[in-house]
Amino acid sequence: MPERKFGQLDGIPPGTYFADRHELMVSGVHRQPQAGIAWTRNGADSVILSGGYEDDEDHGDIVIYTGEGGNLNRKQIAHQSLTRGNFALAQTCTAGQPVRLVRGIKKRYGSGASIEGKYRYDGLYAVDGYWSRLGKSGFRVWQFKLVRIDADQVVGVPLAGILESAPGYDAGAADESAPRLESVVRRIVRNTEVAASVKELYAGRCQVCQTTIPTLAGNYSEAAHIQPLGMPHNGPDHPSNVLCLCPNHHVMFDLGGFVVSDDLELMSPRTGELLGRLHVLPNHNIDMDRIRYHRRMFQEDIVVPFEPGPRSYRARKSRGQDGQQQKLLS
Ligand SMILES: [Zn+2]
């Protein structure tokens, strides 16, 4: 097997088909015989999207990828935790590494059942963010927003074919691919007017550390959306949903380094430890529902080691929620 590598592999362009998991593994594209996330303790380098997770969303250039665990026969039956492959994908996000995305292609013959078929390497995706949420079956899942890199260079095969034949993706999903391309661009450009108004209000001073970053052209700061813009969060581009932060605190905020309580205290979502206070000017009306949304994004339910069968379900029911975290984060 070739050496483990992040990014593009020599001689394997996007659009390359593989007959089965073994072929994928031997090629080095996805070095895991069964798991959907190929990872080591230095991060994840490839993922397979095969319709096995009910909370996945495949929009072509943007994929909402559900992490691993708690899944049995395509149903979520237990909470996921930010461990193992899920933790590795979060590491890949923080490190700014790309992942290779492989799609499982299912073929339908007439009206009969679909047949597990080939896999296709569909190019490199950036891990644009991660969060947790309660999925369709009521269990907490960890999700990752994957955004295709160099969309125009990747894949000559129309995506509509996959969207039509994969379970859970109807033809309507394919129609929505155009506005999503737009949202990739918006992620970078954003609404400069709203961003500028909040940054101006604070004169470029970070609302967490109160630092200003002087440059020859004035203070540098960043506008951080509390409930993220774009799918699947669709937060509004409005001053009530924007903070003025330094780059360090912007990254921490986006990736769950801290959350904000209703009393504007900053805390670690994992331990509940108080980390400081958010400074808010009287004429900046922050929408607390956005703050709560952000808090829920990094909430972790009790960690139940995954065991198929009813036992893990009982464990979850009897142990209940973690008291302290519930109090701080609800
Ligand atoms: Zn700061």
**266-283 tens-digit pLDDT:** 999 988 899 999 999 999
State in Å: Cα 328 to ligand 1 middle.
Answer: 23
pLDDT in tens, 212-269: 999 998 899 999 999 998 889 999 999 999 999 999 999 999 999 999 999 999 999 9
The pLDDT, as a whole number, for residue 167 is 31
State in Å: Cα 82 to ligand 1 middle.
Answer: 26
- Is the distance from CB of 146 to CB of 44 less than 8 angstroms? no
State in Å: Cα 252 to ligand 1 middle.
Answer: 9
State in Å: Cα 250 to ligand 1 middle.
Answer: 7
State in Å: Cα 194 to ligand 1 middle.
Answer: 20
State in Å: Cα 155 to ligand 1 middle.
Answer: 41
State in Å: Cα 166 to ligand 1 middle.
Answer: 45
State in Å: Cα 56 to ligand 1 middle.
Answer: 34
The pLDDT, as a whole number, for residue 162 is 31
State in Å: Cα 207 to ligand 1 middle.
Answer: 7
State in Å: Cα 99 to ligand 1 middle.
Answer: 30
The pLDDT, as a whole number, for residue 326 is 40
Mean pLDDT value across residues 135-162 = 70
Counting every residue, how long is the chain? 330
The pLDDT, as a whole number, for residue 3 is 79
State in Å: Cα 208 to ligand 1 middle.
Answer: 5
State in Å: Cα 203 to ligand 1 middle.
Answer: 13
State in Å: Cα 227 to ligand 1 middle.
Answer: 19
**Where is pLDDT greater, at 74 or 89?**
89
Measure the CA–CA gap between 266 and 229, rounded to whole angstroms: 22
State in Å: Cα 209 to ligand 1 middle.
Answer: 4
pLDDT in tens, 154-174: 444 333 323 322 333 333 333
State in Å: Cα 238 to ligand 1 middle.
Answer: 21
Q: Which of the four pLDDT bands, split at 50, 70 and 90, describes residue 111?
A: low
Residue 114 has pLDDT above 90, yes or no: no
Mean pLDDT value across residues 60-86 = 92
Measure the CA–CA gap between 30 and 37, rounded to whole angstroms: 8
CA angle, corner 43, sides to 39 and 44, nearest 5? 45
State in Å: Cα 255 to ligand 1 middle.
Answer: 14
Percent of the chain with pLDDT over 90: 64
- Is the distance from CB of 194 to CB of 238 less than 8 angstroms? yes
State in Å: Cα 132 to ligand 1 middle.
Answer: 24
State in Å: Cα 258 to ligand 1 middle.
Answer: 12
Q: What is the 3-state secondary structure (H, E, C) of the chain?
A: CCCCCCCCCCCCCCCCEECCHHHHHHHCCCCCCCCCEEEECCEEEEEEECCCCCCCEECCCEEEEECCCCEECCEECCCCCCCHHHHHHHHHHHHCCEEEEEEEEEEECCCCCEEEEEEEEEEEEEEEEEEEEECCCCCEEEEEEEEECCHHHCCCCCCHHHHHHCCCCCHHHHHCHHHHHHHHHHHHHCCHHHHHHHHHHCCCCCCCCCCCEEECCEEECEEEECCCCCCCCCCCCCHHHEEEECHHHHHHHHCCCCEECCCCEEECCCCCCEEEECCCCCCCCCCHHHHHHHHHHCCCCCCCCCCCCHHHHHHHHHHCCCHHHHHHHC
CA dihedral 280, 282, 287, 289 (to 10 degrees): 70
| AA identity, residue 95 | A
State in Å: Cα 277 to ligand 1 middle.
Answer: 11
Measure the CA–CA gap between 46 and 99, rounded to whole angstroms: 5
State in Å: Cα 232 to ligand 1 middle.
Answer: 27
State in Å: Cα 249 to ligand 1 middle.
Answer: 5
State in Å: Cα 244 to ligand 1 middle.
Answer: 9
State in Å: Cα 205 to ligand 1 middle.
Answer: 8
